[in-house]
Structure 1
Amino acid sequence: MTYKQLLHSQSLMITASSIVFPFYLLLLRNLGDSYSQFGLAYGIFALTAALSHPLIGSWSDRVGEKRLLLLYTFGMAVVMLVIPVLTTITQVYIVQIIMGLLGALQKTSEKIALSRQTDRAHTGKQVGHYHLWTSIWAALAVIATGYIIDFLTIGSLFYITSFIYVAAGVLIWQKPKTIELERHHSL
């Protein structure tokens, strides 16, 4: 995976999560009976992610960060299709466990992929550039969602987000195109 593929796919992933995050919070609050259930749901997510990071880190050494990022994108696409039909807080807790695992996959794999794509002499500059563009996409997603939500249902946002996660997975899945490879084929 190239730096450009990583940047574009992560920008899409962050865009997707930025679109639904505020509405997911509303969903969590509406399905629960109290703020303690809301807090427990987020605690389950965070604890699951924390406990799975070491395992995912060692797993990535065997299977590679690209496969883990693919698992994350397609896993999140499926989760986004399920969220609008959740009806109980128990279902939310189960989804939080799944999202905790998937979130840890993304966070660990993204950092591994980024570390492999940067030139040591310019790591800071490249990481800064990377975060600039992924953050801009997140901000634009939140702003745009604020305007388009008046025309869509909240459930439709989750379906749109599922499609965006699939698009990010397709970007990761593509074989990288390099100048040397293209030049070799043209000879």
Structure 2
Amino acid sequence: MTGPREPREPLFTRSFVLLSASDLAYFLGAGVLVFATPLFVTGPLGAGPAQVGLAMGAFSLTTLVLRPWLGRWTDRHGRRVLLVGGAAGFAVVVLGHLVVDSLAGLVVVRLALGAAEACYFVAGFAALADLAPPARAGEALSLNSLALYAGIALGPVAGQGLVELGGYPAAWVGAACSVAVAAMLVALVPETQGQVEPAAEPPPLLHPAVRGPGAALGLGLLAMSAFMPFSVLLAREAGVALVSVGLLVFGATVVTCRLVFATLPDRVPAAPLATTALVASGLGMLLLGTWPTSAGLVAGALVCGLGSAFLTPAVFALVFRSVPPAERGAAAGGLSMFVDLGLTGGPLVLGSLAAATGLAPAFALTAALPLAGAWVLRPRTARPRVRPAG
């Protein structure tokens, strides 16, 4: 007979709930901007699609540059300053849209938004790792990430309603108010970082524990971020009546798996789970590229969703189980840099391939990216060889 199970450390603490609620309010506001900004560029500013790309890309430029530095900073000075300051700064900068009357002005605002985003996201990632019990790290990210998905899904809907109700000023004010609520919520979270010795040597700018898993995560996210905008075009090209079916299946799969199987990344070895998720993402993209029909679109989106559902929680658990508490900020900064590269680079890669080969072949070729990520994780998933006795 086995003894009674030891009770698991609590995950749903007051701080965890407040951080997740703050994330929901923050990404709801960010989702409003995702909807309103491209229309603002092509409408009142009178610019074209290329200028939309410039404005949207300016945001990612500052996030990408600042994330690793901010990660090391938050290890030395704590998470709370960047969490509250990043959210409050984002809310204030959003209001700067009210005086923007040129593309150059919008680019400046977007650069500043990227800096605020980097502060909030890196510190939030590190705080989540601090709050998660070691045996529940994957579950913590699975459940917390639902706030991000819900915010990004509902934000554009809210943005459309605000623009229709009061024009772009209503959208900017609404987004700022939502992020201000995020700042107020996260201000109630006490400092999560433990004591750090002043003389402690800071880790390298790109933490060694992040390099392999982060590269694999970035390659997987390249496929996911390519799938999201181009699945609609693939459905239209294939003559599918409901062109959003791929996104619906993908989103429903990710949310369902992260709810139902939230504890899986903590119950199985993280590296093999991440590898399996990457292979699933590759197979999903291959299905989409070689079977461009209604059935193929649903099947490919489902398999891609399975891969995306487990990839980030598995990598999160893999990295933060191997990093000491005093270096979680540096790890969060490096890991989020790979997230940024993956989310911004996917549409560029698939779009370039589609211009050269056509849309369906581009999906099939993009399948190589997550499969390459699985190859990067291969040393971590291989079992150690047992030396024969004698």
Please indicate the TM-score interval, normalised by the length of the shorter structure: 0.7 to 0.9
Correspondence 1:1-187 to 2 at 5 A: 2-30=15-43, 31=45, 33-147=47-161, 149-174=163-188
Letter of the aligned partner of 2:131 in structure 1?
Answer: Q
In 1, Cα distance between equivalents of 2:159 and 2:106: 23
How far is the alpha carbon of 1:16 from its aligned partner?
Answer: 1.0
Describe the superposition over 1:94-117 as per-residue Cα deviations: whole angstroms up to 9, x where unpaired.
112211211211221121111111
Letter of the aligned partner of 2:126 in structure 1?
Answer: I
Which structure would you say has the larger RCO, counting Cα contacts within 8 Å and 6 or more residues apart? 1
Which one has a larger percent helix, Structure 1 or Structure 2?
1
How far is the alpha carbon of 1:154 from its aligned partner?
Answer: 2.1
Describe the superposition over 1:62-96 as per-residue Cα deviations: whole angstroms up to 9, x where unpaired.
22221101111111111121113201121112112
- Structure whose alpha-carbon radius of gyration is higher: 2
How far is the alpha carbon of 1:148 from its aligned partner?
Answer: 5.1
How far is the alpha carbon of 1:134 from its aligned partner?
Answer: 3.4
CA RMSD, Structure 1 to Structure 2 (Å): 2.1
Letter of the aligned partner of 2:113 in structure 1?
Answer: M
Q: Partner residue of 2:10?
A: none
Q: What is the TM-score with the length of structure 2 in the denominator?
A: 0.42
Aligned residues: 176
Letter of the aligned partner of 1:14 in structure 2?
Answer: F
**Structure 1 residues 149 and 27, CA gap change in structure 2 (3 angstroms):** closer
How far is the alpha carbon of 1:142 from its aligned partner?
Answer: 3.1
In 2, Cα distance between equivalents of 1:5 and 1:77: 18
Q: What is the TM-score with the length of structure 1 in the denominator?
A: 0.83
In 1, Cα distance between equivalents of 2:107 and 2:165: 30
- What is the percentage of aligned positions where both structures have the same residue? 23
Q: Is the 8 A contact 1:65 1:112 kept in 2?
A: yes
Moved over 6 A (4+): none
Q: Is the 8 A contact 2:23 2:147 kept in 1?
A: no
Show structure 2 runs of 5+ residues with no match.
1-13, 191-390
How far is the alpha carbon of 1:29 from its aligned partner?
Answer: 3.2
